[in-house]
Chains A and B, each alone.
Chain A
Amino acid sequence: MYKKILAAINEYLNSEIAAKYALNLAKICGSKLYLCFIAEKGLSGEGFNRAEDAIKRLFLQADTLGVEAEIITERGDPVRKIGELVRHENIDIVFAATRREDIERRFYAGTVARSLSLNLPCSVVLVRVVHIGKIHPKKILVPLKARVNHVKERTYFTAKIAEAFGSEVFVFHTPKPISKFFHGEIHLSPLEWEKHLPPDISHFMEHMKRYKVMHGGRIIPGKTGRTITVEAFTKRHDLIIMGASQRSLLSSILKGNPVEEVLRETPCDLIIFRPRHEDT
């Protein structure tokens, strides 16, 4: 599915760490890796050197792992340039790191990460790096909402990342608690909740069986964002992979935005994945 993977690098350490996820995915998928640095206008010489050093280190690691890699260094607007590259090279998936300042803006508005995620014609992976001590994630938490699109690509991506690191996958669903007007919240045991597993999640689990990845599932009702972070903290997960938010600005203001909540409070690195490959 992913023949060509592009990793966007900049002068920040987290972009280098985000690129390592791309590198490991490229290795397991046998893909070509494009290490791409677009120097923005006004970038200092020191910043430029730092990014170049990072690219060199990544290139050497790619070489060591036997991954075909190409370095692209250009100047200009990262969103536009990466867009052109994706179209020109037929890139299948792009990895970019989110910045801390991005998450401090509500709903990611106006950030490079959001622009890439919305505008690129390929699948996009935004990586939020918060813990550089967990080099190879062993436990991956995959929160899924009830309706999941691009099931095949999501499963493929998750399974390949897990295969790349030899990780175990924990699918996690947080439905709204069931409540009735006169009875309030109805308590269901985990076994009872399993009967309420949405069909899309069952599909996802079915697809996971095709890959040689250990995986399990768990349903805990509650407030989505908070329940995910509590689960990740409690079970010491090393990586969270979740879908990009599809809520509108208005809906986010009214109902909250779980992706944004997890971005702010994640205890481990977080991958926000926006798939573009259609299920066939």
Chain B
Amino acid sequence: MKIHSLLPEDVLKQLIVSEQGLTEKEAEKRLAEFGPNEIKEVKKKPLIIKFIKQFTHFLAILLWIATFFCFLSEYLHPGEGMLTLGLAIVAVIFINAIFTFIQEYKAEKALDALKKILPFYVRVLRNGKERNLHARDIVPGDIIFLSEGDKVPADARLIETSGLMVNNASLTGESEPIPRVPDKFDGELIESPNVAFAGTTVVSGSGKAVVFATGMQTEFGRIAHLTGAVESGLSPLQIEIIKVTRVIAVIATVMGVLFFAVGYSIGRTFWENFIFAIGIIVANVPEGLLPTVTLSLAIGSQRMAKRKALIKTLTSVEALGSVTVICTDKTGTLTQNRMTVRKIWFDNRIVDVRDFKKGNASELFKIACLCNNARFIDGQYRGDPTEVALLRAAMEFSGEIKAERLFEIPFDSERKRMTTVNMVDGKRIAFTKGAMEGLLPLCSHMLIGGKVLQMDDYLQKKVLEAYHSMMDMGLRVLAFAYKEIEETQNSELKTQNLENNMVFVGLIGLEDPPRPEVPEAIKKCHEAGIKVIMITGDGSSTAEAIAREIGLVKGAPVIVEGHEFTKMDDRKLRDVLNKKEVIFARMTPKHKMRVVSMLKEDGERVAVTGDGVNDAPALKKADIGIAMGITGTDVAKEASDMILLDDNFATIVNAIEEGRAVYENIRKFISYIFSSNIPEIIPYLAYVIFRIPLPLTIIQILAVDLGTDMLPALTLGAEKPTEELMWQPPRNPKERLLNLKLLSRAYLFLGPIEAAAGLFGFFYVLKSGGWQWGEMLPANNILYMQATTACLTAIIVTQIANVFACRSYRESVFSIGLFSNRLIFAGIAVELMLQFFIVYHPVGNRIFSTSPIPITVWLVLIPFAFILFFSEEFRKLIVRRF
């Protein structure tokens, strides 16, 4: 038993309030107990804590420890450059923290949008007197007054009403006004017509109600809580990045400790070994990875914006690419939300609108025109899409019909019909249009061939046959009837007097045509292994017909209607969701959250579309919540990860394609970035094992990782999606970003070539300067500085070839077009400029401990770039062949 199933007179007793309302004292006590009537933010981790967490994860802790030892080393052995190194590592920690935070940051404004829906002031009965109170002071038990234009402040049980109609769009997504009455109701509270819900609006009439739930305990509060509390979790890329950093951290630590031990065993001092270990760790950590990933996502989001998909969180860019299921609305997303009259049934025959002759079925179009609230103003039709379609057809086939309207019973979703009374040729006529099941029983006659015949079983059967046949065509079918009102009925224009003994005239079938781009987008989804589930408020016939037309279903789909859905237990629903073709018909937005949750529990990566206030929880729950830019409410837009600027399904598919490209591109530049780790590590190993001068300093490593590598890596992030991307199934969640294939290519193939180039350059310069094996050179020795500069230059030169090599794993660069990504050349130009600055500018020399090298050194290094490039082309050829 709940409040809505009580008789109005028992409601006050149950809520312990008199007809005079609460006393101020009691209201005060209740306010203290139940709290203010307001939407509260769900308690979440403060932004500052989220930011601080970026400094405390495994890799960051490892780097902090390294920093500590650097500073300790500087304190104990000043002048060995450990301070610079310590500061550089701190910079790396900050850069990574800031870029990760930028990726994860999303302004939470959905609740602000929700709060705006509630009213500020309410008329309340307290101590027998009507008062105007702030809505936040309303308490359970307060008696409130509602009238036209009011926003309902809290969930309240109606005890008196007079023609009260409310718009529940904020809760149900249904924009048609619905009547409210005080009578008891035995169904679900949310469906109860005797309850006025917080956040809804009074469209007409008035009423008196007792508040039974306030603030977060209202249905509106429920949406607010779910919108604030539900989290979709980490995006696939975030999960992968965490794994990558852990793998790298462990590799770096193990190598650092191992070589520390080796160095110690061959008799090097503790501090020498320590500096070496730090060097190994720094060389292993891809410092530029997170900034590059973040910037690449930003580039991806800009490309998506150009394709009318506005991305709100950067990580969503890649998450889109991993989507396995799209749950989509029908109207406006798959279809144009532009109703058009397709078929007409009158005089016992169905006529296609294209074959229709002007002047026929004039009675039918008279009703379609007069029982209609759409208007033709300034050359444009305005109003509800269905009514606009009827008015447009009526004006086209019967011309403009004008008749004074005397009375109207508005459409409501309970009765599913509307009636108007118009003065036509001096007669008062009631015109009704609405759903077949409601209208046919009201008709005692039927108009055929201009004659009014008694409705009998045969005619009823004919009407029903026509109706079903039009429904099977996927049309939305409306029935039309009229009734002449006799003079004696003048005084009482009431529903019960008007809607009986009517004359049935005919049926009109309307269709909301699919968007022209949608069939191709659906085909792409099928090719890309993405399942599309239609969730619509329309009936199953209409939904199925549209689904077939756009190619969404081909076989026998499982169609679940809203009432079946609510009765299904999780296990059964899970079975349904596992079917290949699924359509949910006659659904309301509140059902979406369950569908999304179950799909996610089964490991799917879900994108869901929504536009209403009550879509917000599902939008938050999904991996990718997609709000409609044109028809969407502010709440839906704020709760979403992506906004479709054109409300078009095809845009989602385009965005997925971009998302997949971003992931592929991230792989490309990870190959690129990781390749340069080997020429950074090998010199260190050579230093410790062969007792040679250190070929590459730590600060030079950072120059590569955070300097010269960055822009070329970013240009790999700008590679355009290839057609093949949408021919592959969604990425397997078990597939790692940093897999063995990628690591072995970077560490065992590309990296060693670069390392060979680096060491060659280093020894070439040393030998040319007369250096003898085993001779140790001081850090400020010009020859030594030139040698390290040559090593650094060798890495840069081979990385230039590597950026081309990393554009594909299998395909030859010549087949994808050497010049198809022109940004790469800009990236290389910047890389070279930076390198010239490091090598030839005194400031660059000072910062990076370099010294200018002659052109001949460059010339001996360039062949290594060609070796790398053509070796990789040869490897690709072998991969393609075998």
Contacts and interface: CB of A to CB of B under 8 A. Distances in A.
B841 interface: no
B3 A190 contact: no
Given A13-B16, A184-B239, A190-B601, A130 B34 contact: yes
Given A136-B2, A189-B601, A230-B226, A16 B16 contact: yes
A183 B577 CA distance: 27
Interface in B8-32: 14-16, 25-26, 29-30, 32
A12 B33 contact: yes
Given A181-B246, A182-B243, A187-B733, A226 B229 contact: yes
Contacts of B29: 11-13, 50
Contacts of B140: 13, 132-133
B606 to A, nearest CB: 13
B603 A189 contact: yes
A230 B597 CA distance: 12
A218 B226 CA distance: 19
3 smallest CB-CB distances across A and B, nearest first, come from A133-B212, A133-B3, A136-B1
Interface in A173-225: 181-185, 187, 189-190, 216, 218, 220
Contact of B242 (A16, A184, A218, A226): A184
Contacts of A50: 26, 29
Interface in B592-608: 593-594, 597, 601-603
Interface of A: 11-14, 16, 46, 50, 57, 99-101, 129-136, 138, 181-185, 187, 189-190, 216, 218, 220, 226, 229-230, 233-234, 236, 238, 261, 264-265, 267-268
Contacts of B26: 13, 50
23 contacts: A12-B29, A100-B32, A131-B217, A132-B14, A132-B15, A132-B213, A133-B4, A133-B155, A133-B212, A135-B1, A136-B1, A182-B243, A184-B239, A184-B243, A185-B239, A190-B570, A226-B229, A229-B225, A230-B226, A236-B190, A264-B43, A267-B216, A267-B225
A82 B736 CA distance: 62
A228 to B, nearest CB: 11
Contacts of A216: 569
Contact of A133 (B2, B25, B243, B569): B2
Contacts of B33: 12-14, 99-100, 129
Interface of B: 1-4, 6, 14-16, 25-26, 29-30, 32-35, 42-43, 140-141, 155, 157, 189-190, 212-213, 216-217, 221-222, 225-226, 229-230, 234, 239, 242-243, 246-247, 250, 569-570, 574, 593-594, 597, 601-603, 617, 733
B11 to A, nearest CB: 10
A101 B32 contact: yes
B32 A265 contact: no
A233 B243 CA distance: 34
B229 A135 contact: no
A46 B243 CA distance: 64
A153 B189 CA distance: 32
Nearest to B210: A133
A18 B332 CA distance: 49
A267 B221 contact: yes
A251 B647 CA distance: 49
Contacts of A182: 243, 246-247, 250
Contacts of B25: 46
Nearest to A187: B603
B189 A234 contact: no
A133 B601 CA distance: 32
Contacts of B14: 132, 135
Nearest to A98: B33
B2 A135 contact: yes
A248 B874 CA distance: 66
Contacts of B593: 234
A29 B441 CA distance: 52
B230 A230 contact: yes
Given A132-B15, A229-B225, A265-B229, 5 more contacts: A16-B16, A46-B25, A57-B16, A189-B601, A230-B225
B159 to A, nearest CB: 14
Contacts of A218: 570
Contacts of A138: 2
Nearest to B29: A12
A179 B246 CA distance: 13
Contacts of B246: 181-182
B225 A233 contact: yes
Given A132-B15, A230-B230, A265 B239 contact: no
Q: Which of B33, B250, B597, B617 has the most CB of A within 10 A?
A: B33
Contacts of A13: 16, 26, 29-30, 33, 140-141
A101 B31 CA distance: 11
A5 B726 CA distance: 67
A204 to B, nearest CB: 20
Contacts of A101: 32
B385 to A, nearest CB: 32
